[in-house]
Amino acid sequence: MAHPPTNTALTRETLVDAVERNLRQEILAGTYTSGQYLPPTRELAERYDVTRTTLKHALMRLSQAGLVETKHGVGTRVRDYERQGGLELLPMLVAENAPGWVRSVFEVRTEIGATIAVRAARDASEHHRQRLGTLARQLREAPDADAAQITECEWHRELAAATGNRVYPLLINLVLDTYLRQRHAVRGAFDEPAAAADRLDPLSEAVCSGADAETVRSRATDYLERTAQLMIESMLARGGDQ
Protein backbone atom coordinates (compact mmCIF):
# COMPACT_ATOMS: atom_id res chain seq x y z
CA MET A 1 0.00 0.00 0.00
CA ALA A 2 1.34 3.44 -0.93
CA HIS A 3 2.51 5.79 1.78
CA PRO A 4 3.08 9.56 1.65
CA PRO A 5 6.65 10.46 0.63
CA THR A 6 8.99 11.17 3.52
CA ASN A 7 11.99 12.68 1.76
CA THR A 8 12.35 16.36 0.99
CA ALA A 9 14.81 18.13 -1.28
CA LEU A 10 17.95 19.40 0.42
CA THR A 11 18.54 23.12 0.21
CA ARG A 12 21.83 24.96 0.62
CA GLU A 13 21.89 27.92 2.98
CA THR A 14 22.56 31.22 1.22
CA LEU A 15 24.26 34.27 2.70
CA VAL A 16 20.85 35.87 3.15
CA ASP A 17 19.66 32.75 4.98
CA ALA A 18 22.69 32.81 7.28
CA VAL A 19 22.39 36.49 8.15
CA GLU A 20 18.66 36.19 8.74
CA ARG A 21 19.18 33.15 10.97
CA ASN A 22 21.85 34.84 13.07
CA LEU A 23 19.87 38.04 13.55
CA ARG A 24 16.72 36.06 14.32
CA GLN A 25 18.54 34.03 16.96
CA GLU A 26 19.91 37.18 18.58
CA ILE A 27 16.47 38.81 18.66
CA LEU A 28 14.72 35.76 20.08
CA ALA A 29 17.51 35.25 22.61
CA GLY A 30 17.06 38.82 23.85
CA THR A 31 20.36 40.21 22.59
CA TYR A 32 18.24 42.90 20.97
CA THR A 33 15.13 43.62 23.02
CA SER A 34 11.74 45.02 22.10
CA GLY A 35 12.01 48.66 21.04
CA GLN A 36 15.78 48.53 20.63
CA TYR A 37 17.36 49.55 17.34
CA LEU A 38 19.73 47.20 15.58
CA PRO A 39 23.24 48.48 14.82
CA PRO A 40 23.54 50.53 11.60
CA THR A 41 23.43 48.54 8.37
CA ARG A 42 27.07 49.31 7.60
CA GLU A 43 28.16 47.89 10.96
CA LEU A 44 26.02 44.77 10.56
CA ALA A 45 27.25 44.21 7.01
CA GLU A 46 30.85 44.41 8.19
CA ARG A 47 30.17 42.07 11.11
CA TYR A 48 28.73 39.38 8.85
CA ASP A 49 31.13 40.15 5.99
CA VAL A 50 28.31 40.61 3.48
CA THR A 51 27.17 43.38 1.19
CA ARG A 52 24.58 45.85 2.37
CA THR A 53 22.24 44.46 -0.29
CA THR A 54 22.47 41.00 1.28
CA LEU A 55 21.83 42.49 4.71
CA LYS A 56 18.86 44.43 3.36
CA HIS A 57 17.26 41.23 2.06
CA ALA A 58 17.79 39.52 5.43
CA LEU A 59 16.22 42.45 7.28
CA MET A 60 13.31 42.42 4.85
CA ARG A 61 12.59 38.80 5.75
CA LEU A 62 12.67 39.61 9.45
CA SER A 63 10.33 42.52 8.82
CA GLN A 64 7.91 40.30 6.90
CA ALA A 65 7.98 37.84 9.80
CA GLY A 66 7.05 40.63 12.20
CA LEU A 67 10.26 40.66 14.22
CA VAL A 68 11.53 44.09 13.18
CA GLU A 69 10.34 47.26 11.49
CA THR A 70 12.50 49.52 9.37
CA LYS A 71 11.98 53.25 8.93
CA HIS A 72 13.94 55.01 6.22
CA GLY A 73 16.46 57.39 7.69
CA VAL A 74 15.83 56.15 11.24
CA GLY A 75 16.88 52.51 11.42
CA THR A 76 15.57 49.03 12.15
CA ARG A 77 13.82 48.48 15.47
CA VAL A 78 12.91 45.21 17.17
CA ARG A 79 9.16 44.74 17.54
CA ASP A 80 7.36 43.33 20.57
CA TYR A 81 6.56 40.14 18.68
CA GLU A 82 4.62 38.51 21.54
CA ARG A 83 2.15 41.42 21.53
CA GLN A 84 2.22 42.38 17.87
CA GLY A 85 3.27 39.22 16.04
CA GLY A 86 1.02 36.86 14.10
CA LEU A 87 0.74 33.12 13.63
CA GLU A 88 3.35 33.23 10.87
CA LEU A 89 5.97 33.52 13.65
CA LEU A 90 5.18 30.11 15.13
CA PRO A 91 7.51 27.98 12.96
CA MET A 92 10.35 30.39 13.67
CA LEU A 93 9.72 30.44 17.43
CA VAL A 94 9.48 26.66 17.65
CA ALA A 95 12.71 26.25 15.72
CA GLU A 96 14.56 28.58 18.07
CA ASN A 97 12.97 27.73 21.42
CA ALA A 98 11.85 24.11 21.52
CA PRO A 99 10.29 22.38 23.36
CA GLY A 100 8.99 25.43 25.26
CA TRP A 101 6.99 26.68 22.30
CA VAL A 102 6.26 23.12 21.20
CA ARG A 103 4.36 22.54 24.44
CA SER A 104 2.19 25.56 23.69
CA VAL A 105 1.63 24.41 20.12
CA PHE A 106 0.55 20.96 21.30
CA GLU A 107 -1.81 22.48 23.86
CA VAL A 108 -3.53 24.46 21.11
CA ARG A 109 -3.44 21.44 18.83
CA THR A 110 -5.30 19.40 21.45
CA GLU A 111 -8.00 22.02 21.97
CA ILE A 112 -8.53 22.71 18.28
CA GLY A 113 -8.12 19.06 17.32
CA ALA A 114 -10.86 17.90 19.68
CA THR A 115 -13.28 20.47 18.26
CA ILE A 116 -12.37 19.49 14.71
CA ALA A 117 -12.90 15.80 15.49
CA VAL A 118 -16.38 16.45 16.87
CA ARG A 119 -17.31 18.48 13.81
CA ALA A 120 -15.88 15.85 11.44
CA ALA A 121 -17.76 13.02 13.15
CA ARG A 122 -20.96 14.96 12.60
CA ASP A 123 -20.43 16.34 9.10
CA ALA A 124 -17.91 14.14 7.26
CA SER A 125 -18.93 12.75 3.90
CA GLU A 126 -18.62 9.06 3.16
CA HIS A 127 -15.56 9.83 1.04
CA HIS A 128 -13.83 11.52 3.98
CA ARG A 129 -14.72 8.68 6.36
CA GLN A 130 -13.28 6.13 3.96
CA ARG A 131 -10.15 8.21 3.50
CA LEU A 132 -9.66 8.52 7.27
CA GLY A 133 -10.00 4.76 7.63
CA THR A 134 -7.48 4.19 4.86
CA LEU A 135 -4.93 6.52 6.44
CA ALA A 136 -5.37 4.85 9.83
CA ARG A 137 -4.56 1.49 8.21
CA GLN A 138 -1.58 3.00 6.40
CA LEU A 139 -0.28 4.25 9.73
CA ARG A 140 -0.31 0.71 11.10
CA GLU A 141 1.49 -0.59 8.01
CA ALA A 142 4.04 2.23 7.81
CA PRO A 143 7.57 0.90 7.17
CA ASP A 144 9.31 3.29 9.55
CA ALA A 145 8.89 6.20 11.95
CA ASP A 146 9.18 8.85 9.24
CA ALA A 147 6.42 7.31 7.15
CA ALA A 148 4.25 6.87 10.24
CA GLN A 149 4.75 10.50 11.25
CA ILE A 150 3.82 11.84 7.82
CA THR A 151 0.81 9.52 7.57
CA GLU A 152 -0.47 10.68 10.95
CA CYS A 153 -0.20 14.28 9.78
CA GLU A 154 -2.16 13.45 6.64
CA TRP A 155 -4.85 11.88 8.83
CA HIS A 156 -5.23 15.15 10.72
CA ARG A 157 -5.33 17.18 7.51
CA GLU A 158 -8.07 14.89 6.20
CA LEU A 159 -9.94 15.22 9.50
CA ALA A 160 -9.91 19.01 9.18
CA ALA A 161 -11.08 18.82 5.57
CA ALA A 162 -13.92 16.53 6.66
CA THR A 163 -15.48 19.31 8.74
CA GLY A 164 -16.44 21.26 5.63
CA ASN A 165 -15.08 24.43 7.26
CA ARG A 166 -12.31 25.90 5.12
CA VAL A 167 -10.58 27.64 8.04
CA TYR A 168 -9.88 24.46 10.04
CA PRO A 169 -7.53 23.00 7.39
CA LEU A 170 -5.54 26.24 7.38
CA LEU A 171 -5.19 26.15 11.17
CA ILE A 172 -4.17 22.50 11.14
CA ASN A 173 -1.67 23.16 8.34
CA LEU A 174 -0.05 25.85 10.47
CA VAL A 175 0.13 23.67 13.59
CA LEU A 176 1.42 20.61 11.74
CA ASP A 177 3.91 22.52 9.63
CA THR A 178 5.19 24.20 12.79
CA TYR A 179 5.92 20.99 14.65
CA LEU A 180 7.20 19.25 11.51
CA ARG A 181 10.10 21.71 11.65
CA GLN A 182 11.13 19.60 14.66
CA ARG A 183 10.03 16.24 13.25
CA HIS A 184 13.49 14.70 13.66
CA ALA A 185 13.34 15.44 17.39
CA VAL A 186 9.81 14.13 18.01
CA ARG A 187 9.89 11.06 15.78
CA GLY A 188 10.31 8.80 18.82
CA ALA A 189 6.53 8.86 19.23
CA PHE A 190 6.31 6.95 15.94
CA ASP A 191 9.21 4.52 16.30
CA GLU A 192 6.62 1.73 16.52
CA PRO A 193 3.97 2.47 13.87
CA ALA A 194 1.67 -0.27 15.17
CA ALA A 195 1.67 1.31 18.63
CA ALA A 196 0.93 4.71 17.09
CA ALA A 197 -1.97 3.13 15.21
CA ASP A 198 -3.26 1.57 18.43
CA ARG A 199 -3.41 5.06 19.94
CA LEU A 200 -5.19 6.55 16.93
CA ASP A 201 -7.68 3.77 16.18
CA PRO A 202 -10.24 4.55 18.94
CA LEU A 203 -10.48 8.15 17.72
CA SER A 204 -10.53 7.20 14.05
CA GLU A 205 -13.27 4.63 14.64
CA ALA A 206 -15.36 7.13 16.62
CA VAL A 207 -15.13 9.75 13.88
CA CYS A 208 -15.75 7.30 11.04
CA SER A 209 -18.80 5.82 12.78
CA GLY A 210 -20.26 9.24 13.59
CA ALA A 211 -20.15 8.70 17.36
CA ASP A 212 -21.68 11.24 19.75
CA ALA A 213 -19.83 14.46 20.50
CA GLU A 214 -18.86 13.53 24.06
CA THR A 215 -17.26 10.25 22.98
CA VAL A 216 -15.38 11.84 20.09
CA ARG A 217 -14.10 14.76 22.17
CA SER A 218 -12.92 12.44 24.93
CA ARG A 219 -11.07 10.16 22.53
CA ALA A 220 -9.56 13.08 20.62
CA THR A 221 -8.30 14.73 23.79
CA ASP A 222 -6.85 11.45 25.05
CA TYR A 223 -5.10 10.72 21.77
CA LEU A 224 -3.69 14.19 21.26
CA GLU A 225 -2.48 14.56 24.86
CA ARG A 226 -0.81 11.13 24.88
CA THR A 227 0.87 11.73 21.53
CA ALA A 228 2.04 15.20 22.55
CA GLN A 229 3.59 13.81 25.73
CA LEU A 230 5.44 11.13 23.76
CA MET A 231 6.72 13.73 21.31
CA ILE A 232 7.98 15.99 24.09
CA GLU A 233 9.66 13.05 25.82
CA SER A 234 11.33 12.18 22.51
CA MET A 235 12.53 15.76 22.12
CA LEU A 236 13.95 15.89 25.65
CA ALA A 237 15.68 12.55 25.13
CA ARG A 238 17.41 14.07 22.11
CA GLY A 239 18.66 16.99 24.15
CA GLY A 240 16.00 19.64 23.45
CA ASP A 241 15.95 22.73 25.64
CA GLN A 242 13.37 23.17 28.33
pLDDT digits (tens, 9 = 90+) for 12-68: 678 998 999 899 889 988 899 999 999 999 999 999 999 999 999 999 999 988 899
Same domain, yes or no: 43 and 128: no
Q: What is the dihedral of CA 141, 145, 146, 150, to 10 degrees?
A: 60
Q: Which range, 63-72, 94-103, 113-122, 184-193, has the best average confidence (pLDDT)?
A: 113-122
Same domain, yes or no: 77 and 154: no
- What pLDDT was estimated at residue 6? 44
From 85, 119, 146, give the residue that closes a domain: 85
In the three-class reduction of DSSP (H, G, I as helix; E, B as strand; rest coil), residue 75 is classed as strand
Q: Which range, 16-20, 101-105, 208-212, has the best average confidence (pLDDT)?
A: 208-212
Same domain, yes or no: 181 and 231: yes
Count of residues making up the chain: 242
pTM comes to: 0.75
Confirm whether 9 is domain-assigned: no
From 60, 85, 110, give the residue that closes a domain: 85
Q: At what angle do helices 100-123 and 145-162 cross, to 10 degrees?
A: 50
Give the total number of structural domains in the chain.
2
| Secondary element (H or E) of residue 22 | helix 15-28
The one-character DSSP state at 114 is: H
C-alpha to C-alpha distance for 43 and 72, rounded to whole angstroms = 17
Question: Which domain, by its residues, includes 128?
Answer: 88-237
State mean pLDDT over 146-160.
96
Residue 228 neighbours by CB under 8 Å, 6+ apart: 103, 106, 107, 109, 110
State mean pLDDT over 60-84.
89
Same domain, yes or no: 49 and 128: no
C-alpha to C-alpha distance for 173 and 185, rounded to whole angstroms = 19
Asked if pLDDT for residue 181 goes beyond 60, the answer is yes
Confirm whether 170 is domain-assigned: yes
- What pLDDT was estimated at residue 94? 73
Confirm whether 10 is domain-assigned: no
Same domain, yes or no: 166 and 232: yes
Answer left, alpha or beta for residue 67, where phi above 0 means left and psi between -120 and 50 means alpha: alpha
Same domain, yes or no: 29 and 111: no
C-alpha to C-alpha distance for 53 and 56, rounded to whole angstroms = 5
